Chain A
Amino acid sequence: AQSVTQLGSHVSVSEGALVLLRCNYSSSVPPYLFWYVQYPNQGLQLLLKYTTGATLVKGINGFEAEFKKSETSFHLTKPSAHMSDAAEYFCAVSFGGATNKLIFGTGTLLAVQP
């Protein structure tokens, strides 16, 4: 069965520190991969996506993620955390086909300490 695992439901970093949010997927076919961010009481905003091509993808707000097929991973990073990055981050996969439905991980709540 296809699934997404996000290690660490809560991650806390200091302002200016590296942000690393982990995402692994389980699938027998290569998926499309996404990171979404959810600020309190708001909807989901697409941060970045991987479909094909270059495995290092850059998104909004200085985030990037690298697709590593051998590790079935798509970890999200940002070199220097900002207070405004505090939010919940969801990794998601889809497999194209007729529906492109998204399968989400359980989310990681990022706290940024001053």
Chain B
Amino acid sequence: EPEVTQTPSHQVTQMGQEVILRCVPISNHLYFYWYRQILGQKVEFLVSFYNNEISEKSEIFDDQFSVERPDGSNFTLKIRSTKLEDSAMYFCASGKYEQYFGPGTRLTVT
């Protein structure tokens, strides 16, 4: 059964450093998303991506964030200069009317 994969499973970084979170969506999907879940809180939408461009972004997704589909399989989320409050679980998802989620990357900013 096809699934969304994410790497790494856990990333620890120092404040101010850049991180890139990687995702491989389901191969025939065209819509991609990033969500985040701060510990103990609900899952929040960050950004959606279709046809090689951002289709919608939330107010969380500021200039420190960017997304890219560098090739035909990967979908990345970059945080340019991490802050303590960026510590969260980041989920990638793909699909249109049904979204399938990856296992997440736990980002810890120290």
Give me the interface of A with B, judged by CB distance under 8 Å. 32, 34, 36, 42-46, 49, 51, 90, 92, 94, 96, 98-107
Contacts and interface: CB of A to CB of B under 8 A. Distances in A.
B101 A104 contact: no
A20 B1 CA distance: 30
Interface string B39-82: 00111110010100001100000000000000000000000000
B79 to A, nearest CB: 19
Given A90-B42, A90-B43, A101 B101 contact: no
Contacts of B56: 98-99, 101
Interface of B: 4, 31, 33, 35, 41-45, 48, 50, 55-56, 91, 93, 96-104
B76 to A, nearest CB: 18
A100 B48 contact: yes
Contact of B97 (A32, A43, A44): A32
Contact of B45 (A34, A96, A101, A106): A101
A3 to B, nearest CB: 11
A94 B48 CA distance: 13
Q: What secondary structure prevails in chain B residues at the interface with A?
A: strand
A106 to B, nearest CB: 5
Nearest to A103: B45
B65 to A, nearest CB: 15
A100 B55 CA distance: 10
A103 B44 CA distance: 7
B52 to A, nearest CB: 14
Nearest to B9: A41
Given A92-B43, A99-B56, 16 more contacts: A34-B98, A34-B99, A42-B103, A42-B104, A43-B4, A45-B101, A46-B98, A49-B97, A51-B97, A98-B56, A100-B48, A100-B99, A101-B33, A101-B56, A104-B43, A106-B42
